[in-house]
Amino acid sequence: MNKYPFWKYLIILAIIVPGFLYALPNLFGEDPALQISPTRTAIIDDSTRQQVEAVLGDAGIQFHSLQLLESGLQVRFRNTDDQLKAKDVVENELGDKYTVALNLVPATPAWLEALNAQPMYLGLDLRGGVHFLMQVDIEGAIRNTEKRLVSDLRTGLRENRIRYVTVTSSKDNGIHVVFPDEERREQALPVIQDDFDDLSYTEVERDGKPAFRLLLTEPAKKEIKDFAVKQNMTALRNRINELGVAEPIVQQQGEDRIVVQLPGVQDTARAKEIIGRTATLEIMLVDEKNDVTNALQGRVPVGSRLYRDRNNRPLLLKKGIVYSGTNIVDASAGIDSRNGGAVVHITLDSRGAAINQRVTGDNIGNRMAVVYVEVKSTVQRDENGSVVFDDEGMPVRVKSRIEEVITAPVIRDQLGKRFQIEGMDSIKESRDLALLLRAGALAAPVVIVEERTIGPSLGKENITRGFLSILYGMIAILIFMAIYYRVFGLIADVALLLNIVLIVAVLSLFQATLTLPGVAGILLTVGMAVDANVLIFERIREELRNGVTPQAAIYSGYDKALSTIVDANITTLIAAIVLFNFGTGPIKGFAITLSIGIVTSMFTAIFVSRGIVNYLYGNRRLTSLAI
């Protein structure tokens, strides 16, 4: 009686030993680090590593280690002071071709990393985290709208068979539509009034010819601003979801700023690159009629513009945008079955598909270019490399627009809703581009005006006190169980500690983010685990008082208390599942840790504790029990 077969002990060890291994990384802490990642136009290799090592040595900044990883260059430091000094030095040395971000890297030993054992993440309310303050470029959104309206005006005038000379836009002077004579201008007026009610018009003359000067109305500008902020927040949330960040904060601050807080992010350089990038695509036709050599000499034909591809080769494209990233509804990375190269599979919305079908059908044999467009913002520095500040004490930022032709293939067949983009250098590049396009194009460029690591929202001292209270409470429970239930109390203490180890191991294995609500869920399961052992031990005591033999009392105690424990845990598990399905944010965090704790507590309080009892008392002639 009361003896486990050998295979049951093997099951216990098969769960507990990996549990210890995967919980162990949480004891080693984290190192402050810099994460250096390349942009699309740069690479990181051994020469970059030597360059960073040399500049840190010249600045007298000591670092713990410097590693060249697949994701980029990682430099570890022993303290945050060296980390912050190194960030300024490295940014000044490498320039805007690299993303340099502050990071906290787990100090996990190599032998644990070989087992893929990593610590769990801690949320902003426990550890602090990464904080971005982003400025939405409202003027950029207005210019994008004007750029789209220029194309729509040309299309509308052509469809109504109204001749025009030029349709152009300037940064401060609105849109100008120039006509060959007064009659054509009068014909165009009803079209503009009916189809472009967001524009106010004024009759002017350009180069001696009749023209309209069109300006966006104030209500239209306000609508563009509101839409840009809301659309950017939606796109940022989608991008963060793609990164797998748990419980992020994305909220509006003021009229044109967005706050992004990311708890538990390990690769902040990638997060900064993905969140801050405003990458989109513009599909344009290649100007086949004019010579690119003349354009290189400054004679760019009207209606065309000079671009360069990623190999810096010149290419002359027509100014009119066929369609852009706003018409893309889905994008996924893949491998071209013909040549094994990296590609991005694109799916268009109905409007984009109709345009794509019409344009490619009319231009078979011509080339169509895919232009990658990205707006970057960098801090302006003086001749000595120091940051330049404005009158309000804020760093002066300089915007740059990167436009690069990814590919310009010949149109062989009429295309429709789905097609693929070639010309990617690597599968990583195609995945990043697909992520940005799939998550949604930003309605306006965003600039990271502030990046910092922030402390816990409740304050470091309060968090320390909170963890100390948990520790003292655990010690009190362990002492009470050991005194009140003696040897059986010590067995319950072992099971309770194993329960916490297993909870931490599961959270670490799934790289979950632990927040204060999650801690509350763990505390609740600890109480439930103790409660299960109390039920079992009191049942054993009751059987002993009724004159039952010690072996029979042990068997009866575990057997008769089992149904009560299972019922209580199942009902709590159902409640946790309901909370997870219908709750959001912190409620989900509480539900997840509660669910994990219920499963692990049932395993330790029933299966493990009984295994220890059976090992100590099984198949022995007993006259009494230390309970």
Query: CB–CB of 491/535 below 8 Å?
Result: no
Best CA proximity match to 378, nearest among 391, 367, 369, 387: 387
List the beta strands (DSSP E) in 244-382: 249-253, 257-262, 280-286, 304-308, 314-324, 328-335, 342-348, 368-379
Tens digit of each residue's pLDDT (9 = 90 or more) over 264-303: 565 566 666 667 665 667 889 999 888 888 888 888 888 8
- DSSP annotation of 103 reads E
- pLDDT of 467 reads 73
Task: Select, from the ranges 48-57, 272-281, 340-349, 392-401, the one with the highest average predicted confidence (pLDDT).
Answer: 48-57
| Strands (E) located in 107-208 | 121-122, 129-136, 166-170, 174-178, 199-206
Candidates 2.30.30.100, 1.20.1640.10, 2.40.10.10, 3.40.50.300; CATH matching 6-24+458-617: 1.20.1640.10
What are the structure tokens assigned to 278, written together? 């405003």
The answer to whether the CB of 550 falls within 8 A of the CB of 617 is yes
pLDDT for the residue numbered 96: 64
Asked if 615 and 2 touch (Cβ cutoff 8 Å), the reply is: no
Q: Provide the angle, in degrees to the nearest 10, between the axes of the packed helices 586-602 and 516-545.
A: 30
Residue range 545-586, pLDDT digits in tens:
888 888 888 888 888 888 888 888 899 899 989 988 887 667
- Give 379-388 pLDDT, tens digit per residue: 677 777 677 8
| pLDDT (0 to 100) of residue 128 | 64
C-beta atoms surrounding 170 within 10 Å: 10
Q: Say if residue 258's pLDDT is above 70.
A: yes
Using CA atoms of 437, 452, 85, 78 in order, give the dihedral in degrees to the nearest 10. Answer: -100
* Residues 479-486, mean pLDDT to the nearest whole number: 90
Token readout for 539 is 């049942």
Token reading at 297? 């000499």
DSSP secondary structure string for all residues of 575-594: HHHHHHHH--THHHHHHHHH
User: First CA to last CA across the chain, in angstroms?
Assistant: 19
Distance CA 402, CA 278 (A): 10
The third-level CATH classification (topology) of the domain covering 29-107 is: Alpha-Beta Plaits (3.30.70)
CB-count exposure of residue 172 (10 Å: 0-12, 13-18, 19+):
exposed
**pLDDT of 456 strictly over 60:** no
C-alpha dist (Å) from residue 16 to 413, 465, 488: 61, 30, 20
For 58, the token pair is 């010249």
Distances in Å between the alpha carbon of 505 and those of 265, 357, 512? 19, 54, 10
CA angle (595, 601, 602) in 5-degree steps:
95
> 77-104 pLDDT, tens per residue?
988 888 888 888 888 888 767 778 777 7
C-alpha 270/C-alpha 355 separation (Å) is 34
| pLDDT score of 233 more than 90 | no
Fold exhibited by the domain 140-218 = Alpha-Beta Plaits (3.30.70)
Contacts of residue 271, defined as CB under 8 A and 6 or more positions apart, other chains included, come to: 101, 130, 240, 243, 245, 262, 265
As a dihedral over the C-alpha atoms of residue 232, residue 235, residue 236, residue 238, rounded to 10 degrees, the angle is: 160
Q: How many angstroms separate the CA atoms of 453 and 345, rounded?
A: 37
Per this entry, what is the length of the chain?
627
CA proximity to 240, closest of 276, 202, 210: 276
State the pLDDT confidence band at 14, using cuts at 50, 70 and 90: very high
Look at 374 and 365; give whichever has higher pLDDT.
365
pLDDT per position as a tens digit, 467-481: 777 788 788 888 998
For residue 524, the model assigns a pLDDT of: 83
The residue behind tokens 């042990």 is: 554
Mean pLDDT of 402-423: 82
Residue 20 has pLDDT above 90, yes or no: yes
The CA angle 93-399-307, to the nearest 5 degrees, is 95
Q: Is there a shared CATH topology between the 6-24+458-617 domain and the 140-218 domain?
A: no
DSSP 120: P
Average pLDDT (239-252) is: 65
Which segments within 140-278 are labelled E, that is strand? Answer: 166-170, 174-178, 199-206, 209-216, 249-253, 257-262
Distances (CA, A) of 420 to 140, 190, 333, 337, 406: 29, 40, 9, 12, 12
Residue with tokens 């059986």: 488
CATH architecture for segment(s) 221-454:
2-Layer Sandwich (3.30)
Assess whether pLDDT exceeds 60 at residue 143: yes
| Angle of helix 138-159 versus helix 218-243 axis, rounded to 10 | 110
pTM score: 0.58
Of 141-150, 221-230, 386-395, which range is least confident? 386-395
> How confident is the model at residue 437, as a pLDDT?
66
The pLDDT of residue 440 is above 60: no
Taking the CB of residue 407, how many other CB atoms lie within 10 A of it? 17
Q: State the greatest distance between any 2 C-alpha atoms of the chain, in Å, as a whole number.
A: 116
Phi, psi of 406 (to 5 degrees): -75, -45
**Could you give the CA distance from residue 538 to residue 578 in angstroms, rounded to a whole number?**
32
pLDDT given at position 469: 73
Q: Look at residue 25 in the predicted model and tell me its pLDDT.
A: 92
Strands laid side by side in the 342-348 sheet: 328-335, 342-348, 418-421
Distances (CA, A) of 285 to 136, 307, 366: 30, 12, 8
User: Residue 215 above 70 pLDDT?
Assistant: yes
Q: Please state whether 486 falls in left (phi above 0), alpha (psi between -120 and 50) or beta.
A: left
DSSP state, residue 381:
B
Helices (H) and strands (E) in the chain, counts: 17, 22
Neighbours of 211 (CB within 10 A): 21
Q: Can you tell me the distance from the alpha carbon of 377 to that of 132, in angstroms, rounded to the nearest whole number?
A: 14
Residue 379: its H or E element? strand 368-379
What ranges do the domains of the chain cover?
A: 6-24+458-617, 29-107, 140-218, 221-454
pLDDT at 13: 93
What confidence category does residue 372 fall into, taking pLDDT thresholds of 50, 70 and 90? confident
pLDDT digits (tens, 9 = 90+) for 25-71: 988 888 888 888 776 556 788 888 899 999 999 989 999 889 888 76
Angle at 21 between CA 32 and CA 6, to 5 degrees: 175
Place of tokens 């003696």: 486
Q: Is residue 343 scored above 60 in pLDDT?
A: yes
Residue 529 pLDDT > 70: yes
Query: Which of these ranges, 167-176, 420-429, 438-447, 519-528, has the smallest mean pLDDT?
Result: 438-447
Q: What is the pairing mode between strands 257-262 and 249-253?
A: antiparallel
Q: Which residues pair with 204 in a beta bridge?
A: 211
pLDDT above 90 (res 502): yes
